[in-house]
Structure 1
């Protein structure tokens, strides 16, 4: 387990091996990225997708292998975690802002007018189950 102090007065420790390495490395210049948004309609299909993604995600400090310059980062919404079957006790442990989601808090964070949720791109596509 690789840990580092966050520098806060509370002495919170970050478990570096649990942080996706894409968040721990500088982005190359020029940088190109792709975002894929998915909605989990089937818990089993969603979990199967995560199992397939696991080998291409990495945690901890980035390695020195230049052949691995590309990386995959996976992020979840509260609704997505619920759809995957995360226990209620864990879901309730997240901060209120995360539980409510960005669209519900749009007015608080300045996403109004042309930036309102009604003008956001399509939010999701269902994860389809495939046989393998």
Structure 2
């Protein structure tokens, strides 16, 4: 923790937070404590003597400026396909025709992972063309 009152140059009248009831003695006894991480965000600390709070302490005002780092946007997941359209007979036959036209037998792929990737992309492209998202 760091104390924020004593770092700023002000007249004594703007630093003293407590005044004795006789009016002759005043001290700086109230402080603003802030974590060291946020210390650079603290711009100014002053005493506001005009506040009517019914106490022998004056109101302490601190000004901050938060400088927050902008986070990169998270990648959006693709919306799911509208599979309810496949219940319509015309859309279903159109999807089957599109799938037959795009599908090529994965003979040139030796690994199962390559075959799966090719099958998935073919199915996805066909669904995007006919059904939509």
TM category (shorter chain) comes to under 0.3
TM-score w.r.t. the length of structure 1 is 0.20
More strand by proportion, 1 or 2? 2
TM-score w.r.t. the length of structure 2 is 0.20
